[in-house]
Structure 1
Amino acid sequence: MSVTTNKKGNRVEYHYWDYSFEWTDQHRPGSELEPWTRTCDTLADECNAILDALPASAEDPSKRDRYALLRDNHASDPKLEELWTQINTVPEWVDWEQIQRGQDLFWRYLVPITNALTFVSLLGGMGAIRVGEILSRTGGFGAKVVRRRLLETVQHTIQVNNSPEAMHPGGEGALASVRVRLLHSAVRRKIMGLVEQDPTYYDANRFGIPINDLDSFATINTFSSTVIWLGLPRQGITLTSQQEEDYVALWRLVAYYMGAPTEPFESAAKAKLVSESLLVNEFKPTDTGRILARNITIGLENTAPIYASLEYMDALTRLLNGEQLSDELHIPKTSLYYRVLMWGYCFWVQVQAKTLPFIPAVDRHLIASRKKFFWKHLMDEKDGLGKETVFDFKYVPGLKRRTRLGERKKYFFKKPGIEILSYLGLLSAFGFAATFSTGLYFVITRAFPQTR
């Protein structure tokens, strides 16, 4: 990757991964980020050690519902009680009206946000230094299983965005976040246990503690800041300052329940500085990350809900991540045909983004209907999860487990999906152009009849 720095007076402009910004004293150099890799959610680790010693109803210990064990046994141990009290206490900085505004934002821009989460936050995130080192050891990103793994993340995202009540202690979004917190702790403890057996299994000196504090708030960053300042703008959507504050506030609360540092998300301005600092210091694609990134598109090809071709997803990936990062992740370059489809797709989502919010009745109806529709399809037995996951420890790291590059499946036919939005966008653009040209023609001919 090439990086150019332009100095203008006291200003220093950085150009990283096709994203330009001014570096300031408030940005965080690598030396300030590194200590976060040596700390982690020790309270969850201590509680998991206690929970692991408790009998569970499931025959397979990896299938146990760790939250249920915490709920039923928190009074028996001071550490469990500490965690229970923490996750049932609402931080004083929470504004529930703001939380709802942030949730409404998700549903209002559902298609561009979910595409940003899939192809920028997740797939593009495989270019981060440590991400692949952890995920490749769990087995959850093999081409044959990655889709279900992603649907579980979708469940968490939907539950977080369902309603303000869902983010109250005991609400579905709060519970999902706590379960993910305990799962992350279980993965961390397992990997460190394997390191004790074989010190070469994972280089903790180089990468830090698995799923450390930096990894944790970087994950929240991908769900919030990456969407706001990378994913949406590259689809032609720019949020207002208030919308940025609302969406960051929502994910700050998620960070709290997940045991991640919340300080980087105290304001949208601070979150943006942290996000840009991570972009500079934490991205260096490796072969492992490239394999995981490719497995995502291979595993999602021609599957619900988007039913996209591999070529279409490659084009969307290059649009949303930029040419530099896409090249480093070895995303194939796309033809003119798919680049035109991307233009049509962006036109379509921009038209919706700029018109629907100004029709409140339609806006509220769409938000409500999308919640029902999305959840119904997520729980579909054939194309979805079939039932809610409790984020049990199903992808267990092992000394010999590494994720390998999958093979592309063959299809005799392809179902219509997200590519229809591109065609609709192109058709709409053509219609607008034709209408404008016709109107302009009549205006000119009426004003200058002698030209006819």
Structure 2
Amino acid sequence: MTPSRFQDGANARRRFGDQLDRLAPFLLRVDPLADAVVASFAAMPSGQGFRLLETALTRGIEAVPDAPPELRALFAAVDHVPVWVDWEAVSRGGTAFLRTGVIGGMLLAMQSLILGYASPGGNKPLALSGRLREQAGRRLAETGRFVHAVSQAGGMRRFGEGFAITVKVRIMHAQVRRLAHASGRWQTALWGEPVNQHDMIATALLFSVALLEGLDKLGYHVSPEQREDLVHLWRYVAHVIGVEGELIPGSYAEARRLAEMIFATQGAPDADSRALVDALLTHAARSAPNERERRRAEQRAALFAGVARTVLGEELAEQLGLPRTSARLAVPLVRALAAASSRAHALPSLQDFALDLGDRYWQRAIAFGLGGRPADFAPPERFASSRT
């Protein structure tokens, strides 16, 4: 039975035909390898399984003689590099993203994350986990660290930081599935499985196709070759994070069509969508240490809301409850900055400088967002009891 969140309307059917019939079942498919690892960890003392995982990531599965067979099976899969992986394309894709610097960072939050929150089914694991408002800033910083790490040169190589974080996120997803079902609040008939295959590939598309669309709307030019490279990077990230090969697009054109198909069938944003967006926009002001910082945070939030309205479109912005602010008048300046940056980044003499500048932006932004607390990407042991 197809979960009711899948909106197979007449317009979507005319456009995508029986591809919809092949996409819908992935809402009920998950990641048996990772789920088996989490089940084996649950039988161990608290934290022991995650320590075994970290050892396997840093030293190889051979360095874990007491590894459970489930963990060995997972590493047999992630240690295998598919023949289609082009390491130079992976590196170029990450470099192209890092050069976007502050523009890319703004779009990561105001385009990619918000589009993820807009899914009334895909947002449910996060909504049910609790503490929406308190964790908004932390989620943004951890997402930034993940995206930054996979984009680094060599980041997705076997012992790169991006690879390690990707595997940890895969295990985190499996634990969220376990907790969601254990909570007694999960409605499979309505939402599908928690963190299912459909939603995992949707996330990879948010960090590639959706980001590229946001850059287009702000006037930041990305060449066709760079688009393919960024999609290739996230194709490999999707593979490592546990997405089935059949579902992973092999080109920008395929990725864009799949993203459009997912968006056309997901339904309108719901109350959880609006709560998540509100938390994203207001977390900095709510946690500001003084009145001056609070005003600055509110000014940034107003600008970000204006950018979000520009890249998401007015209809979706209204459905998400994005505020209308006078800061929208500053959006043309953001566009001018984006266009000027892309022209500068196209000059060979400035490309290394732009990469260094973008990388330093991400390091500062992540450090500020984490507030001195490390992001270890350990799987949660429980859901919070509150959803506020």
1:62-141 aligned within 5 A: 64-65=50-51, 67-68=53-54, 71=61, 73=64, 76-139=67-130, 141=132
1:65 shift after superposition: 4.5
Q: Which amino acid aligns with 2:372?
A: G
- Structure 2 residue aligned with 1:39: 29
Equivalent residue number for residue 252 of structure 1: 235
Q: Distance in 1 between the 2:318 and 2:82 partners?
A: 42
How far apart are 1:79 and its partner, in Å? 2.4
For 1:401, the equivalent position in structure 2 comes to 386
DSSP-derived class of the 1:166 partner: coil
Q: How many angstroms apart in 1 are the aligned matches of 2:151 and 2:370? A: 19
Q: Classify the secondary structure of the residue corresponding to 1:396.
A: coil
The 2-side partners of 1:76 and 1:169 are apart by: 19
The offset of 1:325, in angstroms, is 0.2
Segments of structure 1 that go 5 or more residues without pairing to the other structure are: 6-11, 17-22, 196-200, 405-452
User: Aligned partners of 1:26 and 1:146: how far apart in 2?
Assistant: 38
Report the identity percentage: 24
TM-score (norm 2): 0.86
Q: For residue 396 of structure 1, what is the amino acid of its counterpart?
A: R
How many Å separate the matches in 1 of 2:47 and 2:92? 40
CA distance in 1, matches of 2:100, 2:66: 43
Q: Describe the superposition over 1:345-384 as per-residue Cα deviations: whole angstroms up to 9, x where unpaired.
A: 11111111123321x232112212432453255335xx54
State the match for 2:3 in structure 1.
Answer: none
Structure 2 counterpart of 1:286, one-letter code: D
Query: Is 2:157 the partner of 1:168?
Result: yes
Residues 238 and 248 in structure 2, CA contact (< 8 A), matched pair in contact too: no
Deviation per CA, 1:76-119, whole angstroms, max 9, x where unpaired? 43322111121222111111111111011111112222222101
Aligned residue identity for 1:363:
Q
Distance in 2 (alpha carbons) for counterparts of 1:27 and 1:112: 38
Q: Which amino acid aligns with 2:36?
A: E
Instruction: Report if the CA contact (8 A) 1:36-1:213 is conserved.
Output: yes
Q: How does 1:265-344 map to 2 (within 5 A)?
A: 265-301=249-285, 307=297, 308-335=299-326, 338-344=327-333
CA RMSD of aligned residues (A): 2.8
Higher-helix-fraction structure: 2
- Residues 175 and 380 of structure 2 are in contact (CA less than 8 Å); yes or no, is this contact kept in structure 1? no
CA distance in 2: counterparts of 1:27 and 1:140, whole angstroms = 39
Cα distance in 2 for partners of 1:140, 1:266 equals 37
In structure 2, what is the equivalent of residue 367 of structure 1?
355
Cross-structure match for 2:378: 392
Number of equivalences: 366
Q: 2:140 aligns with which of 135, 142, 150?
A: 150
Give the drift of 1:32.
3.0
Partner in structure 2 of residue 205 of structure 1: 189
Code of the residue aligned with 1:240 in structure 2: it is S
8 A contact 2:172–2:380 mirrored in 1:
no
Structure number with larger C-alpha Rg: 1
Change in 2 beyond 3 A, CA 1:374/1:310: closer
* Match in the other structure for 1:427: none
1:44/1:83 contact within 8 Å kept: yes
> 1:200-252 CA distances to partner (integer Å, 9 max, x unpaired)?
x1211111111111111111111111112x21111112422211110000001
- Asked if structure 1 preserves the Cα contact closer than 8 Å seen for 2:93 and 2:229, the reply is yes
Aligned counterparts of 1:25 and 1:314: Cα–Cα separation in 2: 32
- Which ranges of structure 2 fall in alignment gaps of 5 or more residues? 1-8
CA distance in 2, matches of 1:269, 1:225: 9
Contact 1:141 1:295 in 2 (8 A): yes
The amino acid across from 2:386 in the alignment is: R
